[in-house]
Amino acid sequence: MDVEPSFAVIGHLIGVPARARILQSLMDGRALTATELAFHAGVTPQTASSHLAKLADAKLIVSLQQGRHRYYKLAGPAVAEALEPLTNLVAHKPVPQRKPSKELARLRHGRLCYDHLAGGLGVAVADSLVERGAILPDGKDFKVSQAGAGFFRSLEIDVDALRGGRRVFARQCLDWSERRPHLGGVLGAALAGRFLKRGWISRERKGRRVWVTKTGRPAIAALLPEIDEAALAA
């Protein structure tokens, strides 16, 4: 008996522009209300509720109740890591404008792909780690060398503990703007989290954009001397 591929269902769901915009709005790992998502999707709250129900039924998003408000977020990092590379398959539909979008340029420079670094900054960090032999391409993933384990340990990241979890350890996540991989998976999330905690990078209150701080530029340059200086520029 023929069985419809599961990706056909996913394709139907994300093929609707409003639902695609909802998912894109949740790609920074934060939870948003239905009203906020309706605004991002450009639809009425009633229409957004219908779209959210379909996405929840497919287990692409989950809802969280907090007081009188209900929030929605991606069901997990695996959803973000599956969606991000899809943007490489077809060119983005151009939007008529008189000058290049400053916001798009900022996102290309540095952003979060759910919870790990992406954009020019994320790719530069991954390239630097590969160049120094800390991580090595291994199929669709990265593997950590012995020297790399020591490098991450210096940042208080226990790679052995991370390997024991259910999430993908170190994924080569294809970057939509750079067309090259950045470091995804739980290792990429741990590295981004460490940079944020140390104040080396900062993020928007609402949105995916991140940038290197004044204190972060010399710190990251010292940690990863192979990194291109342009990647650390604001």
Tell which residue, 65, 67, 71, 78, has the closest CA to residue 52: 71
Q: What is the pTM of this model?
A: 0.69
Report the greatest alpha carbon distance in the chain.
Answer: 61
pLDDT at residue 148 is higher than 90: yes
pLDDT at residue 166 is higher than 50: yes
pLDDT for 100 equals 47
Q: What CA–CA distance (Å, rounded) separates 184 from 191? A: 10
Q: What CA–CA distance (Å, rounded) separates 162 from 23? A: 27
CA neighbours closer than 13 Å in the CB half-sphere of residue 2: 1
Query: Residue 96: which pLDDT band, with cuts at 50, 70 and 90?
Result: very low
What is the chain's alpha carbon radius of gyration, rounded to the nearest angstrom? 19
pLDDT at residue 128 is higher than 90: yes
Is 13 strand, coil or helix? helix
pLDDT for 197 equals 97
pLDDT for 29 equals 76
Residue 59 identity: K
Tell which residue, 61, 21, 52, 60, has the closest CA to residue 34: 52
**Pick the residue with more confidence: 3 or 84?**
84
pLDDT for 97 equals 45
| Delimiting residues of CATH 1.10.10.10 domain(s) in the chain | 6-75
Lowest average pLDDT, out of 155-164, 192-201, 202-211, goes to 202-211
pLDDT for 190 equals 97
Is 51 strand, coil or helix? helix
The rounded mean pLDDT for the chain is 86
Is 190 strand, coil or helix? helix
pLDDT at residue 126 is higher than 50: yes
Q: What's the mean pLDDT in 9-29? A: 86
* Share in percent of the chain as helix, strand, coil (round to 5): 45, 20, 35
Share of the chain above pLDDT 90, in %: 49
Look at domain 6-75 and name its CATH class. Answer: mainly alpha
pLDDT at residue 169 is higher than 80: yes
Tell which residue, 150, 23, 142, has the closest CA to residue 83: 23
Lowest average pLDDT, out of 107-111, 215-219, 220-224, 230-234, goes to 230-234
Q: What CA–CA distance (Å, rounded) separates 231 from 234? A: 8
pLDDT for 91 equals 53
pLDDT at residue 99 is higher than 50: no
pLDDT for 31 equals 82
Q: What's the mean pLDDT in 223-233? A: 89
Cβ pair 202, 211 in contact under 8 A: yes
Query: Residue 1: which pLDDT band, with cuts at 50, 70 and 90?
Result: very low
Q: What CA–CA distance (Å, rounded) separates 195 from 180? A: 21
Tell which residue, 102, 121, 124, 103, has the closest CA to residue 112: 121
